[in-house]
């Protein structure tokens, strides 16, 4: 197998909508994994740094990046990087202000095409990525983003990306995580489709409790027997979404701004739209987790990763 070549791609210039998306699109034409990424804006100027592993022709990738950057009137550079290289992350995070959202895209690996899809969705609804930075743990790699734009348009666009990119996507209000206990509402029909997930759900609920979350499952059909005895704080039938979320928040004594919903982009769209923070998971991953005998919790671990970052 070809050993990847580490390259650092940097782009700088006027902050124009769509630049991030087209740079990632140019990278996605090549066999590229994203190891690290940072984007910042300062006034009217933006800087983007992407550390990649390339399997293929570095000269061809340089040409792709250079021609794309030139067409958008920004400067670019592609240089060799060492195996232990990383992008310097600022310790400063953007301040919260009205009209800004916070999003986290999560996967076991990050492909340039998937991140390009996310960035394009933001640009297509008139939004912009004000800043972006990468974080990771032993299992997952995530990209956290601070977004400007109409939340009512950004939110469904980003939720829909989970189905298309295979990344799990969380989106909610900007700013620091709310202090105090939170309420996590699982769409059982979409995310817990199989009784074989049950042992892992119990482990997940205990872990969520440790990080300050009550966990409730909702189901459109009669409450499944498979959900009983898993340590869930409640199991309820889902009728009117807004009414159900308000009632659950009251019962758990949690403000509505601390309510998070977990589901898929299609079947759970109303539930995800109604919660303060939406976590859209790849439902294919949920089904694979149900059939997986390895002991991995799949998307449930991804949700725990998100809880530490949004």
Judgement on whether residues 188 and 226 belong to the same structural domain of the protein: yes
Q: Which two tokens stand for residue 178?
A: 């709310």
Is 163 marked active-site? no
Q: What is the mean pLDDT of residues 57-80?
A: 97
Judgement on whether residues 15 and 159 belong to the same structural domain of the protein: yes
Judgement on whether residues 136 and 14 belong to the same structural domain of the protein: yes
State the number of CA atoms in the 13 A half-sphere of 90 facing the CB: 14
Of the three residues 173, 207, 232, the one that is the final residue of a domain is 173
Judgement on whether residues 36 and 161 belong to the same structural domain of the protein: yes
Judgement on whether residues 10 and 130 belong to the same structural domain of the protein: yes
Query: How many whole angstroms separate alpha carbon 214 and alpha carbon 80?
Result: 47
Nearest to 144, CA basis, from 189, 116, 182, 102:
102
Does the structure show a pLDDT above 70 at 195?
no
Judgement on whether residues 159 and 253 belong to the same structural domain of the protein: no
Judgement on whether residues 168 and 45 belong to the same structural domain of the protein: yes
Beta strand pairing status for 234-237 and 213-219? parallel
Residue-wise pLDDT tens digits, 96-131: 455 589 999 999 889 999 999 999 999 999 999 999
Among the options 117, 148, 168, 187, which is catalytic? 187
For residue 271, the domain's CATH number is 3.40.50.1000
Range among 65-79, 162-176, 180-194, 294-308 rated most confident: 65-79
Does the structure show a pLDDT above 60 at 139?
yes
Range of the domain at 271: 182-307
Tell me the whole-structure pTM to 2 decimals: 0.89
Residue-wise pLDDT tens digits, 254-310: 999 999 999 999 889 999 999 999 999 976 655 455 445 444 447 888 999 999 888
For residue 146, the domain's CATH number is 3.30.70.260
Of the three residues 110, 140, 173, the one that is the final residue of a domain is 173
Q: Tell me, what's the pLDDT at 293?
A: 43
Query: How many whole angstroms separate alpha carbon 109 and alpha carbon 96?
Result: 29
pLDDT band at 230 (very low <50, low <70, confident <90, very high): confident
Judgement on whether residues 147 and 203 belong to the same structural domain of the protein: no
Neighbours of 1 (CB within 10 A): 4
CA 92 to chain centre: 20
Q: Cβ distance 34 to 52 under 8 Å? A: yes
Q: What is the mean pLDDT of the chain?
A: 87
Among the options 117, 189, 264, 301, which is catalytic? 189
CA dihedral sign, ordered 303, 275, 177, 40? positive
Judgement on whether residues 27 and 134 belong to the same structural domain of the protein: yes
Is 189 marked active-site? yes
Neighbours of 98 (CB within 10 A): 7
Query: How many whole angstroms separate alpha carbon 308 and alpha carbon 263?
Result: 18
Higher-confidence residue: 139 or 296?
Answer: 139
Query: What's the structural domain count of the chain?
Result: 2
Of the three residues 141, 173, 205, the one that is the final residue of a domain is 173
Q: Cβ distance 113 to 21 under 8 Å? A: no
């Amino acid at each position: 197998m070809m050993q990847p070549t580490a390259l650092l791609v940097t782009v700088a210039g006027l902050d124009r909508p769509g630049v991030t998306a087209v740079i990632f699109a140019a990278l996605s034409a090549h066999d590229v994994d994203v190891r690290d990424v940072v984007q910042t804006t300062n006034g009217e100027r933006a800087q983007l740094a992407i550390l990649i592993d390339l399997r293929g022709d570095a000269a061809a990738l340089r040409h792709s990046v250079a021609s794309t950057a030139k067409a958008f009137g920004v400067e670019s550079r592609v240089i060799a990087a060492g195996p232990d290289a990383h992008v310097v992350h600022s310790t400063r995070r953007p301040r919260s202000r009205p009209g800004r959202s916070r999003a986290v895209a999560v996967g076991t690996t990050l492909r340039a095409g998937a991140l390009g899809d996310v960035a394009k969705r933001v640009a297509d609804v008139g939004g912009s990525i004000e800043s972006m930075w990468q974080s990771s743990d032993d299992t997952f790699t995530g990209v956290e983003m601070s977004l400007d734009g109409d939340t009512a348009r950004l939110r469904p666009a980003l939720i829909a990306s989970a189905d298309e990119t295979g990344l799990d996507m969380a989106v909610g209000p900007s700013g620091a995580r709310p202090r105090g206990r939170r309420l996590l509402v699982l769409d059982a029909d979409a995310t817990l489709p199989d009784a074989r997930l049950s042992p892992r759900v119990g482990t997940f609920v205990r872990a969520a409790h440790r990080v300050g979350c009550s966990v409730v499952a909702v189901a459109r059909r009669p409450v499944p027997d498979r959900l009983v005895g898993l340590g869930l704080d409640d199991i309820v039938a889902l009728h009117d979404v807004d009414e159900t979320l308000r009632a659950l928040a009251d019962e758990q004594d949690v403000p509505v701004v601390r309510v998070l919903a977990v589901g898929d982009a299609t079947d759970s769209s109303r539930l995800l739209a109604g919660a303060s923070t939406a976590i859209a998971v790849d439902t294919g991953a949920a089904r694979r987790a149900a059939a997986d005998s390895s002991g991995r919790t799949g998307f449930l671990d991804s949700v725990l990763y998100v809880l530490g970052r949004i």
